[in-house]
A and B are shown apart, each in its own frame.
Chain A
Amino acid sequence: QKEVEQNSGPLSVPEGAIASLNCTYSDRGSQSFFWYRQYSGKSPELIMFIYSNGDKEDGRFTAQLNKASQYVSLLIRDSQPSDSATYLCAVGGGADGLTFGKGTHLIIQP
C-alpha cells in the first residue's frame, strides 16, 4: 500500500522567512509529485508539481525532489500571512488517482 508521510505541525514561521515543508513516500516507482494548498473549509488547490529530480521554482515556491531518498519538499520564500494553510503532499503515477499525505498545518506569524 502506498504511503505518504508528512509532519502534521503546526509549523510556525515568522513573516518574511522561508517555510520548509517535507514529505516522504513509500512507493519507489512513483513518477509524479504534487503540492496542494488547502485553506480551512476549502478544497485543495494545486500549487506545484515536479516530475524530475532536483529543484523546480515558481515565484516564491520551490519544489525539491530526491527520488533516491524518496523525499519531496516545498520551500516558500518571503512567507506571507496569506500562506497560512494546510499543505498536502501527493504522489501519483497514472490514472488511478493520487495518494495524499495528511498535510502540514503552516502558520505564518505577522
Chain B
Amino acid sequence: SQTIHQWPATLVQPVGSPLSLECTVEGTSNPNLYWYRQAAGRGLQLLFYSVGIGQISSEVPQNLSASRPQDRQFILSSKKLLLSDSGFYLCAWSVLDRDLDEQFFGPGTRLTVL
C-alpha cells in the first residue's frame, strides 16, 4: 500500500530564516506530487505540483520554491520566511489515470513564523 511521509511535523521559525520541508511517497512509482498550504480561515491553497522529476509548476507567485530531486521526493523551500508563510503545509500524491485522479494527503507540517 502507498504511504506518504512529511517532516518535520511542527516547526517554529523566525522571520527571515530559511525553510526546507520534505515529503516522500512509498509504494508507488511516477506519482503526481502537490504542495498545499492551509491558512486559518482561508482553505486549502495549491502552491506547486509536479508530474515528474525536475518538473515543477507554480500556482501562486510567492517567496517559496519547490524541487523534485527524485521520483518520490518533493521538497518545499524558502530562502527567507515571512510572517504570512505561517500555516499548515500539506503534501499530496495522485496517480493520474484516465478515470481516476484522487489525491491523498500526508500528515502535514504546521509552520509558525514569528
Residues in A lying within 8 Å of B, measured CB to CB: 32, 34, 36, 41-46, 49, 51, 88, 90, 92-103
A37 to chain B, nearest CB (A): 11
User: Are A97 and B46 neighbours in the complex by a CB distance under 8 Å?
Assistant: yes
Q: How many residues of B contact A (CB 8 A)?
A: 26
Q: At the interface, is chain B mostly helix, strand, loop or mixed?
A: strand
Complex Cα distance A93/B23, Å? 23
A43:B49 contact, CB within 8 angstroms: no
From A49, which residue of chain B is reached at the shortest CB distance? B102
One digit per residue, 1 when the CB lies within 8 angstroms of any chain A CB and 0 when it does not, for chain B 90-114 equals 1000101001011111111010000
- Give the interface SS of chain A, mostly helix, strand, loop or mixed: loop
B residues bordering A, Cβ < 8 Å? Answer: 32, 34, 36, 41-44, 46, 49, 51, 57, 59, 88, 90, 94, 96, 99, 101-108, 110
Contact assessment for A103 and B32 in the assembled complex, using a CB-CB cutoff below 8 Å: no
State which of B42, B94, B106 has its C-beta within 8 Å of the C-beta of A43: B106
Whole-angstrom CA separation of A99 from B43 in the bound complex: 10
Q: Are B90 and A44 in contact (CB under 8 A)?
A: yes
Alpha-carbon separation in the docked complex, A99 to B49 (Å): 13
Residues of A within 8 A of B88 (CB): 43
Contact B90 A95 (CB under 8 A): no
| Alpha-carbon distance A42/B20, docked complex (angstroms) | 21
Say yes or no: B108 contacts A97, CB within 8 Å. no
